[in-house]
Structure 1
Amino acid sequence: MRLTDAGAKSVSLDEIDLYGTELYRSGDPHAAWRTLRETAPVWRQEAPDGTPFWSVTRYRDVVDILRDTRRFSSEHSTMLSVLQRDTAAGQAIHLMDPPRHGQVRGATISALSMRVMRRHEPKIRERVAKLVAGAIADGQADMAKLVTMLPMLVAGELMGIPQDQWTEAAHWTVASMAPEDPAFSIGDEAATLRAAHVFLFSMFIELIQDRRESPGTDDLISLLLGMEVDGRPATDEEVLVNCYAFIMGANPTIPQASSHLVLTMAENPDLWRRVREADRSTLPLTLEETLRWSSPVNHLLRRTTQEVELGGHVIPEGGLVAAWIGSANRDEEIFADPYTFDPVRTPNQHVAFGFGSHRCIGNSPAQTGVQLLLEELVEQVESFELTGEPRHLGSNFLNGITHLPVTLHPNGG
């Protein structure tokens, strides 16, 4: 989506459709979210199949919903595109409520910790540096395509995925989250989903079998095979759906935040100059602002476990509530001048990784990947030049870019 300055815009409520994907490909969700925060912070809409859902757009309401796992359950679905019960509900880490959620999280978090990331950082930095140098050498690069590889460069080994499968794994992961987008579609939405699922599940079934025969020690698949759920060993099905859940969680943040970072700096040369000339100690602040600014995941879906009164609305038991992350990260009550990218913004209480017990378990790899890319861009790139029109992802779940043609001008070039 376009990260516009919606500060002076308003939209008629009759015109707002947060479900349709075209809004995110070519429209301005920020204007719609701002209108809802001001006039209808809890807003009922029906999906095309008639299923109602309630949108929550203010920061404090979003945080309250994500932290309240007792009344707002994840054990149904976390995406508007899956309004009916997800087939992995109650088994995959993102589709579990406490205490079972904690069992899977506790068994696997060591593989994705910042301590592990620091140990692997030299190797990851070398890969990221090569990616940036290659883009410079090519003259013109499609950065949106290049950065789809970043999650695998950062976490492919940690997950236990062989390097020769990284490219296809990255492609089909995003395709499974945005099957209707032309960049990934191979016919219709159902055909694209089938192809994505066949590749990803076949890959993981083979890797699970390999790990059973030759167990590893600290890769994610080996840890999943060794975990217990409700006091018993995890089944192969539970391991499989969690392998899928982890790769789905690994892919959105790094490439989407990275693409928006490059686009923002290309459109604002003075801002990029400011970032380059600042003390390197401020780059972690720029990383956090990149995450707030891009908000790679637009929303998280929850299902009420009881009747809930929210903002003057009564939501029935079993009601579906979309907590809009992208809107919360532009809330004027929390963020001063929220439509400005401030590379040294502090404090910065963004919720790009969610909030509460379900805060993204892959936040350390994601932060590492974007941070290292930012550092290498600062070291190697003097300026960015857009050489074509960016194309934005048609998805109400991911805030992505599918085409970003740029020339990267080298430092001293």
Structure 2
Amino acid sequence: MGSGHPEPESKTRMEPEIPRDILREILVKLPTKDLARSRCVCRLWRRVASRPSLHNLHAMASHVTSARTEALLVTVREPGWSDEASVFSVSSGKAMCCVPIPRGYGLVNVCNGFLCFAHRHGEPKAPAVVCNPITGETVALPKAPPLITHDHMFALGFSPSTREYKLFRLSYPLGSWSSSSGQRVEVDVYTLGDTRWWRHHSFNSQSCPSKVSSPVSIDGKLYLVTLSWMHYKKHEIPKRILAIDVATESYRTYNLPEYETRPYNQPTVGAFELNGRLCFAAHIINFTNFMTIHFWVMSPPLEDIDLEGDHQQPSWELRYSFHMEGHHFCFKRPWGCWLDDQEMMCYLMDNILHKYDTRKSTSVSKGGFVQWDKKLYLAEAPSLDECSWNVLGGYRPTLLSPLSFQLAPSQDDDGNKHQFEHDMLTGLRL
């Protein structure tokens, strides 16, 4: 007969529970995608792995900010009163998110795990929008101050040393006809989440920022291809690139590699991130329309130099050269370059994707050219009037929410509405 006493608890076999502080240390060391999957292990893991404080700590970890980059396909359509941005992972082929963005906006650049959108038609005070494609969250940043000059462009950068994201708006005279080296570029800077608002400064430059390719964010620097102030008159090819140090907000221009090509109103060059280094690509087109493409990678200068200084210039290594038989450059179509997870260099022009395996020893043919390993014809892209799209590299997944940069509402017309949204989101995320 039983004694009527309950069985001792020691006989109940249970797995020991990991203390939350130890679990937190484990999770913060995981790659981003593994951290996202860890929420499916059990309720405890889900609670810990879903905390915004853990996401903030994880996003700033060195193994996340220096992780290998990926490429994203981003499309923007106009289905109704607002536009719709869809984001896809090129490596997995899976959809990541579909989010509404203000009408008339387009993708500016990719910076770590964020996408930056801005008004496509030159509205200077329209607020930029930042999106995390993993979480599907977006936030509108504070409106920029009035412009001093006419043309402008936005660029989002990240500093690993200060762990700050900064939005830069560079403005400059539109279509300047002056050859003076004293032209000024005006800069407005906003540190995401900073209550000090926008800051303004400017610098002299031999050339002006251009939109021939998206700004590139690499290791705490933003790189933008520049054009001569006389470009609109002489159609000179780009010869310099602007480097912005995100932490110090200092500006320097470096010489691009020497190349010659047929001059066009729209330059046939671009800058990209290629395996952690800045890559400059130039289509070389002669007067018979025969085209080649060359890829250089930049070795950073040994030390910082003064603005517009010509000493300690970086060196450029010509890495790849390809013949583009039967091709003509299409100015009205996106084009780009990135490295996939199989270390294949991918070059997209119009609806043709070229691939070259960077792991093999380079087999240089006569004239210094190599052969593409693959040439794939993709589906015909829709008109850019129907759908704007592009493929951009430089993406590093993160669970950091852009809402963490949202400020308490100011005294504007929508103050009550923004206050409710801010208070509600703060409460829901505790």
The TM-score bracket by the shorter chain reads: under 0.3
User: Normalized per residue, which structure has more strand?
Assistant: 2
TM-score, length-normalised on structure 1? 0.23
Compute the TM-score of the two structures, normalised by the length of structure 2. Answer: 0.22
Greater fraction helix: 1
